[in-house]
Chains A and B, each alone.
Chain A
């Protein structure tokens, strides 16, 4: 009996810790994402395959950004309950949205390091990593989000036109 109570108290404690720190972390992450998105706005991202003719003959290189995201304990419990009734799992939506935007930002950062101006043929990929299947709690959600594409240097004279 006492053991059960301790177990329940422990779960509630973990959920509380997860909720508080998870929310703080999420808010902080979103703030940093919006700030960096503004900073990298001048690097253009397209999912079209071919760059326009102006880019002909310019240098190019593969760029890639990735991030592994995990869900917090409280939201996992919430999601497990929600799965009984179905519908939107907004906590996971936020996790994937944050991860994907972070991956795109890292790809843009790499493009900037390589002196590129635009990224074409951008592909987004999501894969699940089985992080803790062993402790048969259904596994903690753990996703890898990847963004990759081909970065191109700006056409000659474009920098002058832009400034």
Chain B
């Protein structure tokens, strides 16, 4: 099975050909709230004059998404799952300069059909 470092497989699909879901363990979630620091903010507003990708923000949001996924995987491991299926992401602006990244899904135990 495709394993990442933590051993919990992730997917945004809920049925898998060739696999059976043996147990459903309920919703798991992970979230993180991140603020961009002033240096990044200044760089980004300079970059906003010429447009294009704002690399500082892309990195920031990628790190936060990874963190949210890691927390979700930790929760899944705690309930004894080996996969999280039907994963959804959601980003919310909670204040100017701070964003919440949320990842949630269903923790399950899946195994290959024999």
A111 to chain B, nearest CB (A): 11
Judge whether A42 is part of the interface by a CB distance below 8 angstroms. Answer: no
A129 and B13 CA atoms in complex are apart in Å by 28
A62 and B65 CA atoms in complex are apart in Å by 13
B61 lies within 8 A of A68 (CB): yes
B97 proximity list for chain A (CB < 8 A): 130
A62/B11 contact (C-beta < 8 A), A51-B17, A57-B113, A146-B89 known? yes
Judge whether B39 is part of the interface by a CB distance below 8 angstroms. Answer: no
B2 lies within 8 A of A131 (CB): no
Beta-carbon contacts under 8 Å, B9-50 to A: 9-19, 41, 44-45, 47-50
Among A25, A58, A127, A146, the residue within 8 A (CB) of B18 is A58
B57 lies within 8 A of A102 (CB): no
A-B contact count (CB 8 A): 139
A127/B13 contact (C-beta < 8 A), A72-B49, A72-B50 known? no
Among B10, B16, B65, the residue within 8 A (CB) of A66 is B65
A68 lies within 8 A of B52 (CB): no
Most chain B beta-carbon neighbours within 10 Å: one of A26, A61, A102, A131: A131
A76 to chain B, nearest CB (A): 8
Judge whether B1 is part of the interface by a CB distance below 8 angstroms. Answer: yes
B12 lies within 8 A of A70 (CB): no
A60 and B16 CA atoms in complex are apart in Å by 9
Chain B, Cβ-Cβ closest to A24:
B50
Q: Mark A62-81, 1 if CB is under 8 A from B, else 0.
A: 10101111111101000000
Among B4, B58, B61, B112, the residue within 8 A (CB) of A57 is B112
For the complex with contacts A22-B52, A102-B53, A130-B96, 18 further pairs of A-B residues with Cβ separation under 8 Å are: A14-B49, A50-B13, A59-B2, A68-B53, A68-B58, A70-B52, A95-B51, A114-B2, A121-B13, A123-B12, A125-B89, A129-B93, A131-B57, A133-B96, A134-B96, A142-B44, A150-B11, A150-B12
By a beta-carbon cutoff of 8 Å, the part of chain B in contact with chain A is 1-2, 4, 9-19, 41, 44-45, 47-54, 57-58, 61-62, 65, 69, 87, 89, 91, 93, 96-97, 99, 112-113
